[in-house]
A and B are shown apart, each in its own frame.
Chain A
C-alpha cells in the first residue's frame, strides 16, 4: 500500500464518478463508468486484494459497461439530466 498512489486514485475515482453522472450522452456515461471500473480495479490491486481486483477488471470494467451500452443502444441515447 502506497499512500500517495492511494490518494491519487481515490481522487480520480470521485472525478470519474461525477463525470459519469453528469454527462448527458448516456453512451459516454457508460464508457466513463467503464473507466471508473478500471480505476477501482487498480485501487484494489494496490490495496492487496488481487482476487477482488481481477474480478472487478473482468466484471466491472468489461461486462457492466457492455450491458449498459446494450441497454442504451436499445432505448434512447440522450438523457435530460
Chain B
C-alpha cells in the first residue's frame, strides 16, 4: 500500500491535477454558452498547461533558479589566490575586480565555481512560461474586446441567442 501510494499518488499527483484542470477548462469552452464563461475556461486551460510545464522543471530538494551571490564571491576568491598578487587579494569582493579577472577566459573561470545542476531548479520551463503568461493576458484582452464588439452588434453574449439572431438573417450589424 505504501509503495502504491509512493509510485502512483505521490509521484504523479501534480500531473493528475494538471489533467483535471485542463479538462475543466475544456469542458467550459465546449459546454458553457456565455462567452465570458468560455474565456474563464480558456484561461483555466492555459494555467493548466503552465502548471504542467512548471511541474516538469521541479527537482526535489533543489533551490530556486537564482544563484546565491556570496557563493560566487567566495569561489572567485579561491580562484584568485593562486595568482598571487596582493592588490587582488585586498579588494577581490569589489565588483570591478570581479569583472576584471574575467580576462583569464570565461571557460576556465566558469569551472572554478561550477554549480551542481541537481541543486538548482530547471530554469528553462520558467522562462518559457513567464512570457506565455504575459502574452496570454494580452490575447485575453483581444478576446474580451471581440466579446464587447459582439455585444455591441447583437446585444447578447449567449451563444444560443447569438446563433438564433444569425439564423434570423440579422447578419449585418
Q: Is the CB of B99 closer than 8 A to any CB of chain A?
A: no
Chain A binder among B41-49, B82-90, B103-111, B164-172: B41-49
Q: Residue B126 contacts which of A51, A70, A74, A75 (CB distance < 8 angstroms)?
A: A51
Question: A79 contacts B36, CB within 8 Å?
Answer: yes
Instruction: Give Cα A43–Cα B40 distance, bound, in whole angstroms.
Output: 19
Question: B147 contacts A48, CB within 8 Å?
Answer: no
Interface of B is mostly: helix
Question: A49 contacts B137, CB within 8 Å?
Answer: no
Of the four ranges (under 10, 10 to 19, 20 to 34, 35 or more), the interface on chain A belongs to 35 or more
| Cβ proximity bits A30-56 to B, threshold 8 Å, 1 near / 0 not | 100100110010011001111110011
Instruction: Give Cα A3–Cα B58 distance, bound, in whole angstroms.
Output: 12
Query: From A33, which residue of chain B is reached at the shortest CB distance?
Result: B40
Instruction: Give Cα A64–Cα B121 distance, bound, in whole angstroms.
Output: 28
Of the four ranges (under 10, 10 to 19, 20 to 34, 35 or more), the interface on chain B belongs to 35 or more
Query: From B21, which residue of chain A is reached at the shortest CB distance?
Result: A17
Instruction: Give Cα A43–Cα B50 distance, bound, in whole angstroms.
Output: 11
Residues of B within 8 A of A49 (CB): 54, 57, 64, 121, 125-126, 129
| Cβ proximity bits A65-81 to B, threshold 8 Å, 1 near / 0 not | 00110111011100111
| Cβ proximity bits B123-163 to A, threshold 8 Å, 1 near / 0 not | 00110011001101100110010011001000011100000
Given A55-B133, A67-B144, CB of A29 within 8 Å of CB of B40: yes
Question: A6 contacts B14, CB within 8 Å?
Answer: yes
Residues of A within 8 A of B121 (CB): 47-49
Given A52-B126, A64-B43, A67-B140, CB of A81 within 8 Å of CB of B24: no
**19 A-B pairs, CB-CB below 8 angstroms?**
A20-B40, A20-B44, A26-B34, A37-B47, A44-B54, A47-B121, A50-B65, A59-B134, A59-B136, A60-B47, A64-B140, A67-B140, A67-B141, A68-B36, A72-B36, A76-B151, A76-B157, A79-B33, A81-B33
Q: A17-B44, A64-B137, A74-B151 known; 8 other A-B pairs, CB under 8 Å?
A: A13-B21, A47-B55, A49-B54, A52-B129, A67-B137, A75-B147, A80-B33, A80-B34
**Contacts from B to A (Cβ < 8 Å):** 10, 13-14, 17, 20-21, 24-25, 28, 32-34, 36-37, 39-41, 43-44, 47, 50-51, 54-55, 57-58, 60, 62-66, 121, 125-126, 129-130, 133-134, 136-137, 140-141, 144, 147-148, 151, 156-158
